[in-house]
Amino acid sequence: MKQVLVAVGIILRHNQTFVTLRSDDKHQGGKWEFPGGKVEAGETLLTALRRELNEEVGITVNQTKPLMTIEHDYGDKCVRLNVHVVSNFNGQAHGAEGQPSEWVSIDELDNYDFPAANVEIISAIKTKYS
């Protein structure tokens, strides 16, 4: 099974992170996620992250810091998530594609239904940023 390379942005503001709700028609639909998306052919990870965050949540990334890389097999799809923390950006994060979105306290992330691959991300964020 082919692995999908994904750039993920943990957008931080004070003690909160920005999350969006996946459309029901997408893989892992109906679950909350940290914004980001597939790295396209010819793109670097950071180029993809900047493009995806601009398209999905309307921000311009100024600086990122690597957090972790996770590989997860969902059975129907394998993903490699390259996760970066984004705390320096321009614009107001919002669901730029019409998707529900919100700022969530890091301590409240466990109350949201995320895809299984995000469990490690949430743990890392809580350890480093709460």
User: If you write DSSP's letter for every residue of 67-130 in order, what string do you get?
Assistant: EEEEEEE-SS-EEEEEEEEEEEEES----TTS--EEEEEGGGGGGS---GGGHHHHHHHHHHH-
Q: Are 33 and 19 in contact (CB under 8 A)?
A: yes
Rounded to the nearest 5°, which phi and psi values hold at 23? -60, 145
| Torsion of the alpha carbons at 70, 116, 3 and 33, rounded to the nearest 10 | -90
What pLDDT shows up at residue 19? 98
**pLDDT per residue rounded down to tens, the chain (130 residues):** 789 999 999 999 999 999 999 988 787 778 999 999 999 999 999 999 999 999 999 999 999 999 999 999 988 889 999 999 999 999 999 999 999 999 999 999 999 999 988 999 999 999 998 7
What pLDDT shows up at residue 83? 98
What pLDDT shows up at residue 38? 95
What pLDDT shows up at residue 92? 97
Q: Are 23 and 29 in contact (CB under 8 A)?
A: yes
What pLDDT shows up at residue 56? 96
What pLDDT shows up at residue 20? 97
Gap between the Cα atoms of 52 and 42, Å rounded: 15
What pLDDT shows up at residue 29? 76
